[in-house]
């Protein structure tokens, strides 16, 4: 049991440290961004993000689950170009004192045990870059108009990952944060630790049923760099209220940190363990994936406006293939996994081909899953309707 908990923690770290940092930035508000005193918030996002390399800060993460609250504080250094992080725990639960990643490897140091666990990361080193921010800001601002206050508007936009990049595991299991159809309230200005910020609240327009319901996220975005100085995400799951609040204090943007900071040199006498991690290959085309995959690769009927951005093959304890498609505001994924892994949440029964499948509304993301001959099939989407997911799933069936 202890080994399973340890494996689960390591997989959680691998996932959270490689989460893409995607930010929904501001709309319709003229602010002083430190360089131009008459710029509508969002108009200069491309120029500012091009100049944003990283930051140093004290990061606090407060997790609430029902009546239980945990708090962790750490000093962090982030590099958005390579997906680098160096974090030193100041207080909080857990037994990891230092975490370091250079985008391709992750080191976890437990000072009391004298052990260093090293993991190889399967995501590209650019996973933490802010590339998609400009598109999201344009999507929001283009919907409600720039430079003017507006009432709450419905848009296709993406909330941030609930757990910040590189954060270690905790008692809260958060639903995946991805794109969707959200309402965005009119922004207002405030300060976070002395820095000016714009507050934006995203919420699902419909209070969906369990397992995940009432999903909302509030962002306090720095008006100079568009980075979230604070974010609060809340939802209900399993009859309990969950809230995760992350706050950055003492922030220095573009601190000019050397790349060597993101490589960990184990202390003398420490035991270094190499953790088993899956092998993953990325392909530019479905044909290239099909030529090397051990599983058959389906040919899903994806709408014309969606473009393939990634095809992957993963080997290890679980073998899988995955296809990821995007359009201007939505993401659509198709995956097969062997052996089949039973999902942990219930949902609505639907029929795909000749198989019974389960449709799950997981807040920002919706997923249909079913099994054929011991292989799990999954079609997921963010910003994609239930009917469209069912249609794509039927085109896959048990192929």
DSSP 274-333: E----EEEEESSHHHHHHH-SSPPP-----TT-EEEEEEEEESSSEEEEEEEE-SS-EEE
Structure tokens at 217: 């996220």
Range of the domain at 131: 2-262
Chain segment 272-323, per-residue pLDDT in tens: 998 776 777 888 899 999 999 989 999 999 999 899 988 999 887 788 999 9
CA distance 15 to 10: 9
Q: Is the pLDDT of residue 125 over 90?
A: no
- Do the beta carbons of residue 337 and residue 318 sit within 8 Å? yes
In the predicted structure, residue 341 carries a pLDDT above the cut 60: yes
The percentage of the chain sitting over the pLDDT mark of 90, rounded to a whole number, equals: 38
pLDDT exceeds cutoff 50 at 256: yes
**Domain identity same for 109 and 176:** yes
For residue range 313-328, list pLDDT tens digits in order. 988 778 899 999 988 7
Same domain for 333 and 217: no
The domain spanning residue 319 has which CATH number?
3.30.200.100
User: Looking at 262, 287, 313, which one is the last position of a domain?
Assistant: 262
User: Does 109 have pLDDT greater than 70?
Assistant: yes
pLDDT at 228 over 50: yes
382 lies in a domain? yes
250 & 298 share domain: no
Least confident range from 47-56, 120-129, 194-203, 236-245: namely 120-129
How high is the mean pLDDT of the chain? 77
**Which of 228, 262, 296 is the last residue before a domain boundary?**
262
CATH code, 121: 2.50.20.10
Q: Are residues 121 and 178 in the same domain?
A: yes
pLDDT at res. 210: 52
Q: Which of 262, 293, 309 is the last residue of a domain?
A: 262
Winning range, highest mean pLDDT, from 123-132, 156-165, 260-269? 260-269
Q: Which residues contact 244 (CB under 8 A, 6 or more apart)?
A: 61, 62, 63, 64, 162, 163, 172, 174, 232, 233, 234
- Would the pLDDT of 206 be above 70? no
How many domains does the chain divide into?
2
Which pLDDT score, from 0 to 100, does residue 235 have?
Answer: 84
More confident call, 166 vs 141? 141
In this structure, are 144 and 286 located in the same domain?
A: no
Same domain, 209 and 246: yes
pTM: 0.70
């Amino acid at each position: 049991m202890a080994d399973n908990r340890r494996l689960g923690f390591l997989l959680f770290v691998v996932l959270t440290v490689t989460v893409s940092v995607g930010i929904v930035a501001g709309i319709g508000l003229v602010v002083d961004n430190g360089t131009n005193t008459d710029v509508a918030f969002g108009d200069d996002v491309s120029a500012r993000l091009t100049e944003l390399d990283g930051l140093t800060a004290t990061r606090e993460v407060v997790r609430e689950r029902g009546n239980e609250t945990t708090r962790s504080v750490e000093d962090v250094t982030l590099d958005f170009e390579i997906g680098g992080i160096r974090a030193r725990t100041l207080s909080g639960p857990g037994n990891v004192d230092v975490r370091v990643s250079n985008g391709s490897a992750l080191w976890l140091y437990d000072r009391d045990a004298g052990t260093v666990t090293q993991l190889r990361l399967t995501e590209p080193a650019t996973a933490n870059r802010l590339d998609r921010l400009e598109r999201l800001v344009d999507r929001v601002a283009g919907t409600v108009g720039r430079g003017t206050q507006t009432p709450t508007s419905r848009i296709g936009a993406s909330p941030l990952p609930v757990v910040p990049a590189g954060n270690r595991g905790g008692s809260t299991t958060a639903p995946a944060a991805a794109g969707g159809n959200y309402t965005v309230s009119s922004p207002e200005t405030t300060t976070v630790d002395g820095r000016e910020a714009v507050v934006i609240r995203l919420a699902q327009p419909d209070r969906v049923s369990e397992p995940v319901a009432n999903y909302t996220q509030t962002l306090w975005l720095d008006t100079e760099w568009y980075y979230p100085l604070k974010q609060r995400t809340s939802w209900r799951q399993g009859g309990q209220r969950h809230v995760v609040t992350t706050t950055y204090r003492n922030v220095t943007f573009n601190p000019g940190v050397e790349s060597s900071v993101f490589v960990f040199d184990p202390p003398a006498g420490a035991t270094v363990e190499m953790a088993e991690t899956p092998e993953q290959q990325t392909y530019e085309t479905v044909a290239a994936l099909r030529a090397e995959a051990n599983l058959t690769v389906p040919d899903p009927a994806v709408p014309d406006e969606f473009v393939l951005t990634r095809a992957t093959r993963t080997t290890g304890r679980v073998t899988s293939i995955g296809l990821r498609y995007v359009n201007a505001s939505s993401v659509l994924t198709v995956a097969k996994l062997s052996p089949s892994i039973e999902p942990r949440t219930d949902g609505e029964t639907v029929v795909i081909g000749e198989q019974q499948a389960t449709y799950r509304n997981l807040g920002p993301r919706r997923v249909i899953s079913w099994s054929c001959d011991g292989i799990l099939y999954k079609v997921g989407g963010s910003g994609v309707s239930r009917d469209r997911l069912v249609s794509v799933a039927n085109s896959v069936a048990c192929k």
